Structure 1
Amino acid sequence: MKVIFHEDFYQVYTSDPASVEGRMEAVVKVIQPHTEFVTAVPASDEDIAAVHTEHHMDRVRRDGLYDISALAAGGAIQAATAGLTEPCFGLIRPPGHHASSNSCWGFCYFNNMAIALEALRRKNKIQTAYVLDIDLHYGDGNVNILGRKDYVTVHNVEAHRRDDYMDEVTREMEHCHADIIGISAGFDNHEEDWGGLLTTEDYLEIGLRVREAARQCDGGCFAILEGGYNHKVLGHNVLALVRGLSGSGLL
């Protein structure tokens, strides 16, 4: 399976946990032998401006975070575009699901998911989309931007018990009808991460269920990295989701 990545994502661009040294290295070490890496390219100003205000873009520039954030957004566009024909994972940072059109927080600057889906929509590559947010934290930016679009359904999984969580994902995928399914793939709900809820095998199952839903819709699917901060398990959790999306069903 293709993974969108760039070595610039190794850089420590801020002091927040999403940017900490070694985070991306931990993922690459585990997944690279099993995947095909494709180099990310930055999103254009036009792509970003379709989602964010000029004021917000200027603020990100002043903070010295525009280039790395545009690269992450571009990687998301590539992952979504590839996902139309085969499952794809965007190994990108900074994350994006807390970024709204004119504001951001939670280690996010540009909303990668929104930028990617809006790019596909403007190019008439999709008519409908579904966003499954599996991060520990509610993706308010996704909801603020995409929740107002009549072509997108956004669902944040909010169950607090493992079985209920997986049942919620199953129900959502059984009733999903979209040209493309995008996963805001946070891994901080893992049992050895901040949330302490899911197992590595659960991420495999989530990937399998999303893949099957996309197949039933005759559509595509992709995922982009959001949270996940325990380097000892993050790479294995990413690999589990990737293998689920690819249909291998093996860990």
Structure 2
Amino acid sequence: MSTQRSGLVFDERFLAHDTGSESRVQMRSGFFDLTPEPHPSSAVITRRIKEFLDGSGLTAQMLPIAAREAIDEELLPYHTREYLAGIREHCYGGPKEGPWGSIDEETVLNPGSYEAARYAVGGALNAVATVLQGQVRNAYALLRPPGHHALRNQAYGFCIFNNAVLAAQYARKQFGIERIMIVDWDVHHGNGIQDAFYADPDVLFVSLHQQNWFPRLSGELEQVGCGAGVGTTVNIPLPPGTGDRGYQAAFEQIVLPIGLQFRPQLILVSAGQDASWLDPLAQMMMTMDGYRRISALLVQLAEEVCEGRLVMVQEGGYSAPYVPYCTVAAVEPLLGADLGIVDLYATAPELELCQSIFSDETQRALQTIRNWQRQWWKL
């Protein structure tokens, strides 16, 4: 039995998924180039998170969990065999679409992406195994590429294989876990996770995301599951500018009460730190302190319902300066630690607003969501 409470997955092979840079400006007729800027989903951000974990001393307090290459049989519970072959072929110059499936225009792959994606899945599976075997109470999987947008036969929204979906299926098949709760706090809706478990009453999927954002028409309040799974898809679309207090209220008023009623045996978190106030791809105004609070609430829920068994897997987050701060703030509660890290913009008036705002629009949205979810849950 390890003396560490929490585990950490990271592998340098994740960084071989190189999305390159963006420089070309396309005109109606012709083009010109600017100084290259890294793709939003850059390996630099993942590396900076790991360096922040190392420098803060958190890595030394966590059990290292090795990643490994997931085998086909661990990918096939969601993805098709043809899709695996199509992705591999594209990484070496093959087409972006075919009878096997497709890759959307925003998802950039290179020769290192296929192995990185398989190792990311294997890292998620090993994190689950380490927690369920009792070696640690919880774990953070610092994965790349992310996964929650990936569909059965489509790479989408920077995602190739759906790490969270495959981790849940692995927990069921290998460990006999019957009830799993997946909380997705990435600012973009986890359409791939929703797709995988839409008719499944034994996987509770709860997504908090910016309303009417990405993917289009995905994550609407009315999307609640189908067949036996009606009620176990819980979408919490939030207005721009929700901020720390709004997110905390969403957890306290909706996520935690539903989790207490469902009583999962394992909680997975799709942890995308792209709802921050500095993220270029959204407008939700969260701070590192807000991430620390919602992480602590999920740790508390896990302690109450499933002996602390909680696994967080990295999803999005596109502010290279700030994502490491928010990620470390999310990791601290896993260890019961508060390192006293000073926010990158501690003196900024915008930061204070992000921490204090709780708009009428946000409060109305939460009330609407509660009223709707009362058809299936006591709220």
| Aligned counterpart in structure 2 of residue 89 of structure 1, from 120, 140, 149 | 140
The residue number in structure 1 matching 2:40 is 17
The residue number in structure 2 matching 1:216 is 304
| Aligned counterpart in structure 1 of residue 321 of structure 2, from 225, 232, 238 | 232
Relative to total residues, which structure has the larger helix share, 1 or 2? Answer: 1
TM-superposed deviation, 1:104: 2.4
| Aligned counterpart in structure 2 of residue 165 of structure 1, from 242, 247, 252 | 247
Please give the secondary structure, in 2, of the residue aligned with 1:22.
Answer: helix
| Aligned counterpart in structure 2 of residue 34 of structure 1, from 43, 58, 76 | 58
Give the residue type in structure 2 aligned to 1:154.
F
Report matched runs for 1:129-168 at 5 Å.
129-157=180-208, 158-160=237-239, 161-162=242-243, 163-168=245-250
TM-superposed deviation, 1:164: 2.6
Consecutive unaligned residues of structure 2, counting only runs of 5 or more, are 1-5, 21-38, 92-112, 209-236, 341-379
Q: Distance in 2 between matches of 1:231 and 1:83?
A: 30
The residue number in structure 2 matching 1:204 is 292
The residue number in structure 1 matching 2:115 is 67
List, as ranges, runs of 4+ consecutive aligned residues in structure 1 with deviation greater than 6 Å.
none
The residue number in structure 1 matching 2:258 is 175
Q: Residues 129 and 151 of structure 1 are in contact (CA less than 8 Å); yes or no, is this contact kept in structure 2?
A: yes
Q: Residues 51 and 145 of structure 1 are in contact (CA less than 8 Å); yes or no, is this contact kept in structure 2?
A: yes
Q: Deviations over 1:159-193 (max 9, x none)?
A: 22123322112231233120111110001110111
Q: Residues 147 and 153 of structure 1 are in contact (CA less than 8 Å); yes or no, is this contact kept in structure 2?
A: no
Q: Residues 138 and 310 of structure 2 are in contact (CA less than 8 Å); yes or no, is this contact kept in structure 1?
A: yes
Q: Distance in 1 between matches of 2:152 and 2:122?
A: 17
**1:107 lines up with 2:189 in the alignment:** no
Please give the secondary structure, in 2, of the residue aligned with 1:100.
Answer: coil
The residue number in structure 1 matching 2:8 is 3
Q: Distance in 2 between matches of 1:153 and 1:56?
A: 26
Q: Distance in 2 between matches of 1:140 and 1:118?
A: 17
Q: Distance in 1 between matches of 2:334 and 2:199?
A: 28
Q: Distance in 2 between matches of 1:87 and 1:217?
A: 14
Please identify the structure whose Cα radius of gyration is greater: 2
Q: Distance in 1 between matches of 2:9 and 2:176?
A: 19
Q: Distance in 2 between matches of 1:144 and 1:246?
A: 32
TM-superposed deviation, 1:24: 1.7
- Give the TM-score normalised by the residue count of structure 1: 0.93
Please give the secondary structure, in 1, of the residue aligned with 2:175.
Answer: coil
The residue number in structure 2 matching 1:48 is 75
**1:128 lines up with 2:128 in the alignment:** no
CA RMSD for the aligned pairs? 1.6
Q: Distance in 1 between matches of 2:317 and 2:84?
A: 26
Question: Larger relative CO (CA 8 A, sep 6+): 1 or 2?
Answer: 1
Please give the secondary structure, in 2, of the residue aligned with 1:183.
Answer: strand
Give the residue type in structure 1 aligned to 2:169.
E
Q: Distance in 2 between matches of 1:147 and 1:209?
A: 25
Please give the secondary structure, in 2, of the residue aligned with 1:63.
Answer: helix
Q: Distance in 2 between matches of 1:147 and 1:168?
A: 22
| Aligned counterpart in structure 2 of residue 79 of structure 1, from 127, 133, 143 | 127
The residue number in structure 1 matching 2:368 is none
TM-superposed deviation, 1:139: 0.6
Consecutive unaligned residues of structure 1, counting only runs of 5 or more, are none
Q: Distance in 2 between matches of 1:108 and 1:134?
A: 16
- Give the TM-score normalised by the residue count of structure 2: 0.63
Q: Deviations over 1:23-61 (max 9, x none)?
A: 222101111231233321111110001111112111211
